[in-house]
Structure 1
Amino acid sequence: MVEETIGALETRAFEAYGRKRVDPPVMRFGVGVSDHCRNGLVTDDYWTALERHRKDWAALGLSFDPFETCRAALGADWPGGIRVGTRGGRSMGAGVAREPNQGFQVHFDDALREFSGDLLDATLVSQFAFNAYLSVPSAGGETVIWRHLWHPEDEAFRIPGSYGYDEAVVGDAEFVELAPEVGEAVLINPRCFHAVRPSRGARRIALGFAVGLSLTGELLTWG
């Protein structure tokens, strides 16, 4: 899976997340719903962008669907099943390929806080983040996760206009630093503050999607 997917992606141009919100820039191939959130709502242009995203992925000419492969592996031993989540009866994006060579700032991800009401046509009781690594740098690029969930007072550390926070927000909280190898995948609790360090050397490219646990015990994914 890795060789065919990264071989196809390396021939394509990646786009940046919205640069007013995401700085330093993070490149991606595909569409993330976070770029289409206004006042807690998913904007209509998400669906237009998602249609283009699906055509771009189909144009890679892969012999398989890498996101489906990842979902199958993740849900193989999960009794509740796994599928791409829906919103208003329409399937969300399956995931994106992200390239944060300059790193991700300290932040957390929580659909219950980002979006008004339920993001999906289901109530989520927990959220995870899945990443499968296709290319990693020779140095740097580590994912750092702190044992610190968001509290209202943390907003004093938010970088104005940004998704990120000053690293002082985590204080002296315990942390773990992960440096995955090509072909490995990780599943983390993204509600804990986390960051990605800048890379040195090869491109850092990973397939990623969010995973929500629904009230019915089903795993639902979205990009």
Structure 2
Amino acid sequence: MSVLPEGAPAPSHPAVEPPASQPPRRARPHVSRAEVRSRPTPVPAHTDTESRDTDDHTRPHRRLPPGASVTTSPPAPRPCASCPYRTDVPSGVWSEEDYDKLPRYDGPTWSQPPTLFICHQHSDDDDRARVCGGWAGCHDGDHLMALRVALAEDRITVETAEAIRDYTSPVPLFASGAEAAAHGMRDILNPGPDARRVMDKIVRVRPEVTPSPPAPPADPQAPLRGGA
């Protein structure tokens, strides 16, 4: 401890400024637990799954509203006897336009038709219309564009889509739509007796359907085959 000599002035200390005045703090209102429970819960901005900006593969499929009907049913347990995908169906039964549709489902998903391949036994607007069993058994359902579009448009249910993906034909089918089309086109200008019998059955079920073009009438002036 230092001692100042007698008569020495005392050291000066800097003046301490008084603290700046602060506004008084506002008292928080008391909120009871009952009031907190009665307040509405805020809704997130993206509750609607249809408006989310998410990938289509992660978005859940839309379900049909109660009472709504779907016109397209799952494939039959067995492809019909005139199915162009069956290896035992005669060549030349269907038209060139019908056979041209088959290979289009062989390509990459983005290049395929967006429409389902319906069994020829019924028209598309028939309430008994169902997906072609041969089409479901021949092509890989996981890569069918038509299947994805039909789900998005509610033309089929999720259960029908699963039935198409898991479908297994009990009869032999061609390995691709191209093979089925090549077989069908081979005798299209001159269908054999077996093909004509199948065509007659189709016309009896669906009179509005025209299978492959009929054979031209025989020319009475043409020579008979085998001589004479």
Considering the TM-score relative to the shorter chain, is it more than 0.5? no
TM-score, scaled to structure 2: 0.21
The structure whose residues are more often helix, as a share, is 2
The structure whose residues are more often strand, as a share, is 1
TM-score, scaled to structure 1: 0.22
Compare relative contact order (CA 8 Å, sep 6+) and give the higher one, 1 or 2. Answer: 1
